[in-house]
């Protein structure tokens, strides 16, 4: 059984951190890249970082 999940993405580079003020959510509360709704969140240096649990796209909120 293949454990790798197949899903469609919009081609965002997941190695960089996007800024919310330049790239607001296309659909509120969903990942812009894969449209998933679950995120890992952390705060560092006064910035709230949100990372998609499926594709890994990161965004400073």
Confidence band for 4, pLDDT divided at 50, 70 and 90: low
pLDDT exceeds cutoff 60 at 51: yes
**Tokens coding 60:** 């400073």
Domain assignment present for residue 8? The answer is no
In b/e form, how buried is each residue of 51-61, taking b as 16+ CB within 10 angstroms? bbebbebbbbe
- Count of the separate structural domains present in the chain: 1
d(CA 12, CA 10): 6
Higher pLDDT, 45 or 51: 51
Domain assignment present for residue 52? The answer is yes
Domain that holds residue 55: 17-60
Domain assignment present for residue 10? The answer is no
Which strand (E) or helix (H) includes residue 60?
Answer: strand 58-60
Domain assignment present for residue 11? The answer is no
pTM: 0.84
């Amino acid at each position: 059984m293949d454990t790798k999940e197949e899903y469609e993405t919009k081609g965002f580079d997941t190695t960089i951190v996007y800024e919310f003020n330049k790239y607001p959510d296309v659909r509120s509360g969903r990942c812009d890249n894969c449209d998933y709704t679950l995120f890992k969140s952390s705060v560092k240096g006064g910035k709230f970082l949100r990372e998609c649990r499926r594709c890994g796209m990161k965004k400073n909120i």
